[in-house]
Amino acid sequence: MPELPEVEVVRRGLERWVSGRVVAAVEVLHPRAVRRHPAGPADFADRLTGHQLGAARRRGKYLWLPLEPLTGTGAPTQAVLAHLGMSGQLLVQPQGSPDEKHLRVRVRFADATATELRFVDQRTFGGLSLHDTVEGDPDGLPDVIAHIARDPLDPAFDDAAFHTALRGRRTTIKRALLDQSLISGVGNIYADEALWRTRLHYERPTASLTRPRTTELLTHIREVMAEALAVGGTSFDSLYVNVNGESGYFDRSLDAYGREDEPCRRCGTPIRRRPWMNRSSYFCPHCQRPPR
Ligand SMILES: [Zn+2]
């Protein structure tokens, strides 16, 4: 499953290679890839054709391209949402280059740039779908993801409102970090890393967090994500835009995640792993004391 930094790399690639181009034709090679579009593949293709694609946007791990209105100005009323699923890739390829084995959708453009956009997905959990946007939203936010909170790298993320929301909930901090209605884009790995940096146990009740602790936690989340982005962002300058669910970040030394029984880099105490909501939580039992 791609994490936010990988999705941001894809967004930058789309922004550079696809935004601003006019769709000339859409070919759906596998209906499952557009199954979230109830009117079917032909309707999906028809509706996209002729539209100029707007600026590539992202909220958490959700990625979309608004369709510029065909006539007049104003906010986009339709947007294409990309679900990458487990194995989805968006590739910008030269026209005529051999089709990928798992090519599902091809988008051709009405300009002289001899490249096309391809959605490739081995396991077909992902797909593309067309949605109405939240009325008047300048970014063309698809209505189906209107409930997803902004992510902490978004300039419009509201730190104070996030703290207030944490204080008002009867939940624990790691559950809150993975709750997309509070904050988006923080996956299991980034949560464990940020909690280790902040010396917070994952079961800490959010109602007990002080304002400075919330601020410290957000700072560490942003640092972890920025570092991952710096490492994972190496490929977005190339023509080949892809996401494969991995990033260079996983090659670098993580401080907590995946380090069971290895010494904490701060205090030397062995890192522990605990089952947590069908996943694992890694933490230092000395630096991250469990709540009483
Ligand atoms: Zn420690």
For residue 256, report the distance from its CA to the centre of ligand 1, in Å. 9
Q: Tell me what pLDDT residue 252 has.
A: 55
Token digits for 258? 């995946």
How far apart are the C-alpha atoms of 35 and 160, rounded to whole Å? 39
How far apart are the C-alpha atoms of 254 and 247, rounded to whole Å? 13
Let me know: does 285 contact 196? Beta carbons within 8 Å.
Answer: no
Let me know: does 218 contact 177? Beta carbons within 8 Å.
Answer: no
Q: Tell me what pLDDT residue 283 has.
A: 98
Domain membership flag for residue 50: yes
Q: Say if residue 20 is in the same domain as residue 126.
A: yes
Structural domain for 253, as ranges: 159-283
Q: Tell me what pLDDT residue 244 has.
A: 39
Query: Which CATH number do you get for residue 55?
Result: 3.20.190.10
For residue 270, report the distance from its CA to the centre of ligand 1, in Å. 8
Q: Is 167 a catalytic residue?
A: no
Query: Which CATH number do you get for residue 252?
Result: 1.10.8.50
pTM strictly above 0.95: no
Listed in order, strand segments (DSSP E) in the chain are 23-28, 57-59, 62-67, 78-83, 88-94, 103-109, 115-121, 127-132, 272-276, 279-283
Q: Tell me what pLDDT residue 254 has.
A: 86
How far apart are the C-alpha atoms of 222 and 185, rounded to whole Å? 11
Domain membership flag for residue 254: yes
Q: Tell me the sheet residues that pair with 279.
A: 276
Let me know: does 19 contact 65? Beta carbons within 8 Å.
Answer: yes
Domain membership flag for residue 191: yes
Per-residue pLDDT of the chain (292 residues; tens, 9 = 90+): 567 777 888 888 899 899 999 999 999 999 999 999 989 999 999 999 999 999 999 998 889 999 998 777 788 999 999 988 777 888 888 999 999 999 999 999 999 888 999 999 888 788 999 999 999 888 999 999 999 999 998 899 999 999 999 999 999 999 999 999 999 988 888 899 999 999 999 999 999 999 999 999 999 999 988 887 777 644 433 334 444 334 444 545 689 998 999 999 999 999 999 999 989 999 999 999 999 8
pLDDT 10s digits, 85-133: 777 888 888 999 999 999 999 999 999 888 999 999 888 788 999 999 9
Number of domain units in the chain: 2
Q: Which of 91, 115, 145 is the last residue of a domain?
A: 145
Q: Tell me what pLDDT residue 243 has.
A: 42
How far apart are the C-alpha atoms of 83 and 242, rounded to whole Å? 13
Q: Is 2 a catalytic residue?
A: yes
Q: Say if residue 8 is in the same domain as residue 137.
A: yes
Q: Is 101 a catalytic residue?
A: no
Find the catalytic residue in 11, 12, 57, 61: 61
For residue 199, report the distance from its CA to the centre of ligand 1, in Å. 8
Other CB atoms within 10 Å distance of the CB of residue 140: 23
Q: Is 203 a catalytic residue?
A: no
